[in-house]
Structures are given as C-alpha cells and as structure tokens.
Structure 1
C-alpha cells in the first residue's frame, strides 16, 4: 500500500482465476445491451450505477472489494493484489454521502494498469479521472472524503448493484451501464453474442431497406 496505515482489519483472499483477455476484448466490442440480450437480460447491474466519465467502455476480470460505509482502506489494500486489466468492483454498501474513491486512488489504479472502477457508493474528483483516462462508474458523487479504518475484504464475492460479483468474473460497461458474466461461461458466450450481433445487423438492414421502398 502507498499508505502507512495498519490494514490488518482487511481480509484478503488472493486468486489467480482470471478470464482470457482475448475473449474479454472480443466481448467488449459489443454493446452491453446486446450482450444482455444474448444472456436473456440477466446479470446487469442496477441502473443507479452510472458512468461518471466520458471515457470509452470498460471490460476486465473482477477484483471484488467490500468496504464499510464511507471507508476505503480495503480499496488501498486491493491495489497490492490487482493485476493489469482487472476492474475493481466495490461494494460500498450503497452509501452515497461520503466518497470512498478519489484522484489519489485513481492514480494508483492507472499505475497498475487497472481497466476501470465500479463502486456501489460514491466517489469524488471526477475531473481527475478524465485526465487520468480511468473509466469509473458509481452510484453517486460526493466531495466528502473517506475514513481508513476498515474492516473490509479483497478477493471475496461481493454484491454490487444487486448482482453477485465473483473474483475473476468478467464485467463489461459502456454508456448504457454494466453487465457481469461468469468467468466459466464467457468462451461459450462469445459465439452467442456474435450471433446476436449478426441477427441485429440483418434486422436493421431489413428495416432500412423496407423503409426505402
């Protein structure tokens, strides 16, 4: 951690089970709405968790984090476990009156190659994320800063936006919102998503051709 504080209150479960990055990149070429249609519209996070930057879509393996309301010690600890391409998914208890993520943590994420951050709670320093090039999603924005006492956990399943997020699951986000996909299913899922995309292309072409007659 880049903070010299006691993090013994944070439970850590290291894991190495991450999704194939090539498949993740292929999934990220498609809109979240289309992916959702291919999986019977399941796994999409609450619409209350919105993109807070104008940056492009995010996609990566989930590193789940649990924090106490208004406390971000576990997020700091998580940076020691994060790998390039991970997405930090934080259950912040849906608390919106105190931010648990800001510009300093954002800079730490960029230094470690984090692909994005999703918070079921609040963040601050939004303009800094634009400058850093770090896509962030959150339930709210608040200027109030966090505490750093814990407890919390890193690498254990959490709920975020009403969806269970397991370590290593894949999360994809765009301007519409976010979807979580089980890591064991993505290889089988990709052809279904591509099939759905081809179907919609044909359908739109038919509509356009029909309208031009």
Structure 2
C-alpha cells in the first residue's frame, strides 16, 4: 500500500451550467454571502487578469515536486481547475510556461497553486488563469509522492474534488459542492442589491443616515 501516493477517481463535480452562472459574479460578493470567513487572501493572480471558475481537480504534492501535477494535466477534463496543495512552500516552482501552455492546450480552465510558479513574465503576459502564492526561479522535482482527487488545503481553505473554484483579482474562493446552487442564488441577489446602490450613488439619491444611526447605536459620542 502506497500511503500518500495514489490517484483517486473523482466521484462528482459541479455542473457547467452552474459554473456559467458564476462567471459574472464578483468573488467579493460570493465571499459576502459565505459570511466573509471562507477562501484565501494569500494567492494572487499571476496572469494578465481575468476570471477563473470551474470544478476542482485536486492535487496534493510534496513541496517542490510536480510529478502529480503533470498527471493531473493529463487527467483533467475540459473546464477543470487544477488545485495544487504544495504546502505553501516557495522554494521551488510547481509550474512554468511549458506546463501552463500544455494545460491551456488541454482546455484546463486554470491553476490554483499553494506554492510557487516560474516563467512569471510569460505567464503574466498571457490570459490563461494562474493563481499562486509566489514566484521562484528554481525548477521542480519529479519524484512524488502525492495524491490526485483527495481533499486538499490551500492556505487553510479546504477543497474537495468537484467543488466549485472561483477566482478574480480579489482572490480565490472554494464553494462546497453541496452549497453551490444556494450560494449562487444568494450571490445573484447580493450583486443586484449592490448595483442598485451604485445607481443611487450616481443619481445622488443614496441614503446615508445609516452611518450616524450605527454610530449612535454603538455608543459613539458626538461632541461639540
């Protein structure tokens, strides 16, 4: 038995229809309806910019080793987000331009890596989504061990295979598989409320009385 060195079969994944509904929903709004306590703030976009979303294909690897990430690219279905738990270690890069090009060619939606990348200039110049914790010029090893399609931790955020990953310039968030439909509906309502508020601000009809009401309720003194 190879403990910690295995490829599991993913048993479920969020539907393309639900992924599409999240495409125009800001990650900040998703975070709001998830009580603002989920997700990671450490991983940042390494590409030119743009939204990332899709079902998670998870990889847990020894820090600095990308053998199982290579296998994940071969296994990925179109639209998958490859989510790599590399322990947050930034000494060796997990992917670079060659692997990101291969993943894009294979119709992978993008990468989320709790670790480093390299060839940062090439990745930054492109639109293929890559979110990572940092950059390192040192290349990876290819010895294992690791696992594919297991529960992983990305900067403390737990991701199960098939969960929804959404990411934009504000950061990366995992929406649990069983909650995706409900959170989508709540986020759509949240976005509509914020759009109404922006319209009121631009029209000069925004009601700001709530600020003083909150201060009074919280015991703030208004001194002469």
Please give the TM-score of this superposition, normalised by the length of structure 2.
0.85
Supply the distance in 2 between the matched residues of 1:209 and 1:104 (Cα, whole angstroms): 50
Contact 1:32–1:172 (8 Å) recurs in 2: yes
Q: Which runs of 4+ in 1 moved over 3 A?
A: 130-133
Mapping for residues 1-213 of structure 1, pairs under 5 Å: 10-45=5-40, 47-130=41-124, 133-210=127-204
Q: How many residues align?
A: 204
Contact 2:47 2:126 in 1 (8 A): no
Q: Deviations over 1:140-196 (max 9, x none)?
A: 101110111110010101000210000000010001111110111111222111110
Q: Deviations over 1:99-148 (max 9, x none)?
A: 01112211221121110101111011123335653210111101110111
Name structure 2 gaps, 5 residues minimum.
Answer: 207-224
Gap regions ≥5 residues in structure 1: 1-8
The 1:147/1:25 distance shift into structure 2, 3 A limit, reads same
Q: CA RMSD in A?
A: 1.8
* Whole-Å separation in 2 of the counterparts to 1:99 and 1:43: 26
Q: Structure 1-normalised TM-score?
A: 0.90
1:10/1:102 CA distance change after superposition, 3 Å: farther
Measured in 2, the distance between the counterparts of 1:185 and 1:71 equals 33
